[in-house]
Structure 1
Amino acid sequence: MKSINTDVRFTPVIAKLLVGFALLCFTQISLAQFGDEKVWPKIEELGWLDNQHLNNQRASVNELAKLKLGDSIRGNKSDLDVLQRIIDARLIASDERVKLQALGVIIGDQFQREFNLVWRIYEDQAGRSRAVCFKDTEHCLFPITMLSRRMEVGLQPNVKKIYDETAEALQPLLPKLPYEVSAKK
């Protein structure tokens, strides 16, 4: 039986390259963690491309609703019922992530209308997302994935229940009206 030589020899050149690579990695990690380049989270206004993407998503859901259900997206709370009908009829396959996320844009628009939120770009260590946020705060919702993540694993979410539960969770973040008294529980 022939043996395989597993000896690895570190020449001075290879050793210097490995040390250099290790220092480069450490420097990048240090800058990412301790540098003042980025402060997390970073919340910015939507750019033109982001607005176009959201508009295209809205249009795709509206077209699907018109073609398959004979209904349309109206820009009010009845849109939640249209989303439920799309889900119940299984009009979007679980592997069509972009189409599933389009449903989230519609639910996000309803949060925006009802709670005076604004669409923003939310960026943190995990990446960049479109979110609806309370003005001038870091409090944001990520509606684009509220339905899609559930549907990708084969669930049929209850849109109204998800919306209502999220709306309930938002209540403590809403601005208080003058002379409003909080009920003690």
Structure 2
Amino acid sequence: MEQTVSPLSVKDSERLEVQRSVVINFVSEGSLEQYRTAAGKLGTLRALLEAGVFEADQTYELQCMGIVLGDALVQQHGFEWVAVEDDFGRDPALRVERTSVLLFPLTMISKRVERGEIVDVFDLFNGTAEIALKRATDELGN
């Protein structure tokens, strides 16, 4: 099963925008400026999780939260959105620039919530970035 990594297509980008809008709909007008920061995105995700806005069976909505988590990683660490296609389909992923290191934020929150775990998005964000950046450094030989 081989993976093909490519830039996002127009259709991929549109899909991500629709998914982002699911989360943005919960952001008050007065909080939009804060939401534009990585910390603001993470704070929004934390508030949604703590309030139990989405149930464990609301996979799509939880995956929308994963896209916003990915946006925060892009914003803070310069990762790039790409599309990964394999035998199972095509999904958005993050790539650490100039490496083959891939992250799949789409399901990072949903899988944990579905397993009944309490998700600390700040820990998830920091741990994911730390691992990805270490792998990238190792790959680049630095």
Determine which of 88, 91, 94 is the counterpart of 1:132.
94
Equivalent AA in structure 1 for residue 53 of structure 2: L
Q: Which residue of 2 aligns with 1:110?
A: 72
TM-score normalised to structure 2 length? 0.84
Q: Which residue of 1 aligns with 2:133?
A: 171
**Structure 2 portions without partners, runs of 5+:** none
Q: Which residue of 1 aligns with 2:48?
A: 86
State the Cα deviation string for residues 89-108 of structure 1 (Å, max 9, x = none): 00112111111101011110
The answer on whether the counterparts of 2:96 and 2:132 sit within 8 Å (CA) in structure 1 is no
Distance 1:75 1:49, change over 3 A: farther
Give the distance between the partners of 1:83 and 1:149, measured in 2 at CA: 15
Larger Cα-atom Rg:
1
Q: How many residues align?
A: 137
Task: Report the alpha carbon displacement of residue 65 of structure 1 after superposing the two structures with TM.
Answer: 2.9
Runs of 4+ in 1 over 4 A off after TM superposition: none
User: Equivalent residue of 1:108, what SS?
Assistant: helix
Give the distance between the partners of 2:19 and 2:52, measured in 1 at CA: 18
Give the distance between the partners of 1:91 and 1:65, measured in 2 at CA: 13
The answer on whether the counterparts of 1:57 and 1:105 sit within 8 Å (CA) in structure 2 is yes
TM-score normalised to structure 1 length? 0.66
Question: Is 1:100 aligned with 2:62?
Answer: yes
Give the distance between the partners of 2:24 and 2:85, measured in 1 at CA: 28
The answer on whether the counterparts of 1:119 and 1:130 sit within 8 Å (CA) in structure 2 is yes
Give the distance between the partners of 2:96 and 2:129, measured in 1 at CA: 13
The answer on whether the counterparts of 1:116 and 1:134 sit within 8 Å (CA) in structure 2 is yes
Give the distance between the partners of 1:85 and 1:106, measured in 2 at CA: 13
Task: Report the alpha carbon displacement of residue 170 of structure 1 after superposing the two structures with TM.
Answer: 2.1
Bigger RCO of structures 1 and 2 (CA < 8 A, at least 6 apart): 2
Higher helix share: 2
User: Equivalent residue of 1:121, what SS?
Assistant: strand
Give the distance between the partners of 1:117 and 1:80, measured in 2 at CA: 16
**Structure 1 portions without partners, runs of 5+:** 1-32, 34-39, 177-181
Give the distance between the partners of 1:155 and 1:78, measured in 2 at CA: 23
Q: Which residue of 1 aligns with 2:26?
A: 64
State the Cα deviation string for residues 89-128 of structure 1 (Å, max 9, x = none): 0011211111110101111011112221111111234432
Question: Is 1:52 aligned with 2:40?
Answer: no
